[in-house]
Amino acid sequence: MNFLETTLADCFVVEFNKFSDDRGWFARTYCKDEFSSIGFNKQWVQHNHSFTNYKGSVRGMHFQLPPFAETKLVRCIAGKVYDVVVDLRKSSPTYLKWFGIELSAFNRHMILIPQGFAHGFQTLENDCELLYCHSEFYNPSHESGIHYQDKTIGINWPLSVTQLSERDSNHAIITNTFLGL
């Protein structure tokens, strides 16, 4: 596996190595020993799978509050999305900065999102599917989010938004008094 540093502290794009033959290919998408080389030593306790119908849909920007803050490993297995993370760790040198990357079934990249980050994506095609590994169990009383159009963050979404849940449209706008994680 290759772990590529992003512009955000502790956040990595993960590329896996394919082993190909006449039948197709095989790749390891997770190895505890390889992930420990970048300081990740947690275990995955929950795996989720999302499907989004329409191009231009936005899901996000989601996170869980402590003590249920979670690390996520996200991969697109069908279609193509613009995946975005925001560093909400007040003590981080990249606090309130964002990073975006195209994840697709074609490029097979993954993104390792540390706890204390908000995560979301916009579909660039119809019928997109993502797989998520989580280091903490989902706890509805600790779920939170920030608004996908928050001007303090200034995410440059590639498309006009076509679909957004009511929950995501009601996420908070960050102010200078935002506490961070």
Give the residue numbers spanning the domain of 145: 2-17+30-169
Active-site annotation holds for 49: no
179 located within any domain? no
User: Residues 161-173: pLDDT tens digits?
Assistant: 999 999 999 998 8
Active-site annotation holds for 119: no
- CATH number of the domain residue 40 falls in: 2.60.120.10
Domain count, the chain: 1
The pTM (predicted TM-score) of the whole model is: 0.94
For residue 175, pLDDT over 90 is answered with no
176 located within any domain? no
Q: Which of 30, 95, 132, 142 is catalytic?
A: 132
User: Residues 41-98: pLDDT tens digits?
Assistant: 999 999 999 999 999 999 999 999 999 999 999 999 999 999 999 999 999 999 999 9
54 located within any domain? yes
- What are residue 58's DSSP bridge partners? 122
Q: Which of 62, 134, 138, 171 is catalytic?
A: 62
User: Residues 117-138: pLDDT tens digits?
Assistant: 999 999 999 999 999 999 999 9
Going along 88-142, which residue ranges are E strands? 98-104, 110-113, 117-123, 128-134
